[in-house]
Amino acid sequence: MANLPSSSFCSSSIITAFLILQVLWSCSLLANGCYTSIISFGDSLADTGNLKLLSADKPGEESLHFFLPPYGESFFHVPTGRCSNGRLVIDFIAESMGLPLVRPFVGDNGNGIMEFRKGVNYAVVGATALDSSFHAARGVHNPLTNSSLRVQLGWFKQSWPSICRHVQDCNHLISRSLILMGEIGGNDYNHALLSGKSIDEVEIYVPLVVKAIISTVKELIKLGAKTFLIPGNLPIGCSPPYLTMYYGSDKAEYDNSTGCLIRLNKLSEYHNELLQTELKQLRELYRDANIIYADYYNAAMQFFRYPNKYGFTNGALKACCGGGGPFNYNSSIQCADPSSTLCAHPDTYVNWDGLHLTQAAYKVIYKSLFQGPYTMPRFNSICPTSMLRPIKELSSSM
């Protein structure tokens, strides 16, 4: 009995220390939003500079059109490697959580490990969910990168041991990170369709693309990741390259409410439905994980259906920067080409350069996800809106 007071005191001290740590951690979350880091994978919808840095040592590739003005003009005032006139959804997420804009992994060559605690981005412009060898075997060449989702995951695994050597609790770090899984998969369809593959053939890819995404999520869960934001595909039938390709088609091919191509949007919907089915199974398998579907498709359909409501007074289907034609898109005259045309007010356009959206459109998607109903489960049920910070205006003097 003489040992009981000592044992009781020890247990009490441990509990008190634990509660103090919990309070300190809660204060940290309040200071930095709900997560202390963002880890990103994906393609041009999320790349904050990886392809630009990967191309820097390759003669001729440093002049890829989206590495030149007017890219970045509306916020950064210089091209950053982002495929827009300003910020992407990932940038708005970082700002709202009080985190710095997520740096590209390639920029540090894996050496800026300490900064990982605030976020790292493995996404690459042009990346596919399936390996390049899959597409090459079907006669489709990726003109931009071989950095598929599997390659990006490999970068993460390669850098992880170094990261763990520089933090006290490696598992704690990744468990408090928001994993942004894409958007990824859109280029598996885009590269093939724009190379001349039929929609019927490309539809066969969908289960394989979704399987690649799910497999990556599973691997990250095994490494300790807890919270995932997994976007679906955008409505590609509303994209100027396809609207230009199919220009003059029968009116029955178009959605009367938007002017978008029905069959191509059905392809996006098929991808998104299958992805959601697989995510539901993942939630049942990993009950401790927060697996959130981000409905990019319907968030975007808001401004495709009602562009004026969101300030897009120049419509939703015509690119701000491009090579002319009914949708200001010409595959031979890309945005930043000397003969391309640039709109005066990008914030009044949904589309920036054909395949990519304007900063203003990405802001609407961000707000729809984080302040609205376009995530499943609702993101604000996991991270209350009150913990998010206001984001900067669309223009910046930085």
At residue 73, the pLDDT reads 97
Please state whether the predicted TM-score (pTM) of the whole model is above 0.95: no
385, pLDDT greater than 70: yes
Q: 330, 352, 210: which is closest to 267 by C-alpha?
A: 210
142 is a domain residue: yes
User: In this structure, is residue 326 part of a structural domain?
Assistant: yes
Q: Which two tokens stand for residue 180?
A: 């942004």
Distance, CA of 13 to CA of 125 (rounded, Å): 52
Query: Is residue 356 among the annotated active site residues?
Result: yes
Catalytic residue, from 37, 40, 44, 147: name it: 44
For 279-321, what is each residue's pLDDT tens digit?
A: 999 999 999 999 999 999 999 999 999 999 999 999 999 999 9
Q: What is the percent of the chain where pLDDT is above 70? A: 85
Taking 50 as the threshold, does the pLDDT of residue 397 lie above it? no
In a domain, 202, yes or no: yes
CB neighbour class for 151 (10 Å; exposed up to 12, middle 13-18, buried from 19):
middle
Choose among 137, 255, 140, 152: nearest CA to 191: 140
Q: Per the domain annotation, does 213 fall within a domain?
A: yes
> Please, which pLDDT band fits residue 348 given cuts at 50, 70 and 90?
very high
- CA 260, CA 237: separation in Å to the nearest integer? 5
What is the rounded average pLDDT of the residues 129-154?
A: 96
Buried b / exposed e over 37-67, threshold 16 CB at 10 Å, is: bbbbbbbbbbbbbbbbbbbeeeeeeeebbbb
Q: How many CB atoms lie within 10 A of CB 150?
A: 16
282: Cα separation from own chain's centroid: 20
353 flagged as catalytic: yes
Give the pLDDT of residue 396.
58
Residue 7 lies in a domain: no
Q: Give the C-alpha separation, 181 to 391, whole Å.
A: 22
Does some domain include residue 23?
Answer: no
Instruction: Count the domains in the chain.
Output: 1
pLDDT of residue 116: 66
- The CATH number assigned to the domain holding 216 equals 3.40.50.1110
pLDDT grade, residue 166 (50/70/90)? low
Residue 235's contacts (CB-CB under 8 Å, 6 or more residues apart) are 260, 264, 265, 268, 297, 300, 301, 304
C-alpha span between 224 and 7 (Å, rounded) = 33
Domain range spanning residue 52? 33-385
CA 116 – CA 105 distance, rounded (Å): 9
* Average pLDDT of span 73-102: 96
In a domain, 72, yes or no: yes
Nearest in space to 272 (alpha carbons), one of 302, 289, 293, 256: 293
